Amino acid sequence: MSEAPVIVENHDDGVTVITLNRAHKKNAMSRQAALDVQRAFDEFDRSAQRVAIFTGAGDDAFCAGADLNDKPEFWRCTPTVGFRTEKPVIAAIGGWCIGGGLVFAMMSDLAVASESAIFQYPEARLGFTGGIIASMAGRIPHKFAMEVMMLGRRFNAERAMQMGLVNAVTPRGEHVNGALAIAREIAQAAPLVLAMLKRSVVREVVAQSPAESMARTLAQLTAITESADAKEGPAAFREKRAPVYRGA
């Protein structure tokens, strides 16, 4: 595989596969990887592709959380927060799915897990939290969500399916193929209907935690501060001219 932290494959059937390519680190999310995932999903949203699958390289890990030696801004690579698309997003999970990896799975529209998958959200044991995990209580039954968050225990793919966290469990190593089968079926559906349904669910049905709302606001503010217009204003002031804003 390429040494790039993220690999994007656009299939002719309208399915895009975005792979976190850090198997040597159990696909722990680095700062650059988070930026690249965010960019890849933004490009997917602007493209004619219909469905995206997100997965991790190899069979050992989907995403083992943050790379503590190169901490990411995890909100950037979180569905509906750092990137927003009305197209379906499917998580294909094999091996470790820890911390921020579990948040990604939770925030995806659908999820397929290999029987090798191991889930855990250990932050209550570690003494810190980003808070977005609280949104789990709006996505799976309340008692299951509290079990995941408060106990911090590891659980397998079968348990994740009982909780409603994943849609299907495949044999080891077949999670991407399982996700592709679902994605190709969805890609044949009416895009406007899919977009309307997802928009309604995300905006009006699923409860979001205060941390999720805060992260969405941060994403919107960051888009402004990183824009060309944000550079144009100060440049025009220094050059004593009227600014020319382009809305980008």
Structural domains of the chain, ranges and CATH numbers in brackets = 6-238 (3.90.226.10)
Nearest to 59 by CA among 165, 160, 177, 164: 177
34-82 pLDDT, tens digit per residue, is 999 999 999 999 999 999 999 999 989 999 999 999 999 999 999 999 9
The kind and range of the H/E element at 182 are helix 175-186
Are 143 and 122 within 8 A, CB to CB?
Answer: no
Nearest to 224 by CA among 214, 236, 232: 232
Q: What angle do CA 99, 41, 37 make, to 5 degrees?
A: 45
Q: Average pLDDT of 3-23?
A: 96
Do the strands 15-20 and 51-56 form a parallel or antiparallel pair, or are they unpaired? parallel
**Distances in Å between the alpha carbon of 189 and those of 12, 53, 83, 180, 193?**
16, 16, 23, 15, 8
Are 1 and 7 within 8 A, CB to CB?
Answer: yes
Q: Two tokens at 223?
A: 């888009």
Q: Two tokens at 105?
A: 């799975």
Full DSSP string of 132-171: GGGGGGGTS-HHHHHHHHHH---EEHHHHHHHTS-SEEES
148-178 pLDDT, tens digit per residue, is 999 999 999 999 999 999 999 999 999 999 9
84-104 pLDDT, tens digit per residue, is 999 999 999 999 999 999 999
Per-residue confidence band for 248, with pLDDT thresholds at 50, 70 and 90: confident
Residue 98, Cβ neighbours under 10 Å: how many?
23
| Residue 119 bridge partners (DSSP) | 97, 155
Instruction: Provide the total of helices (H) and of strands (E) in the chain, helices listed first.
Output: 9, 10
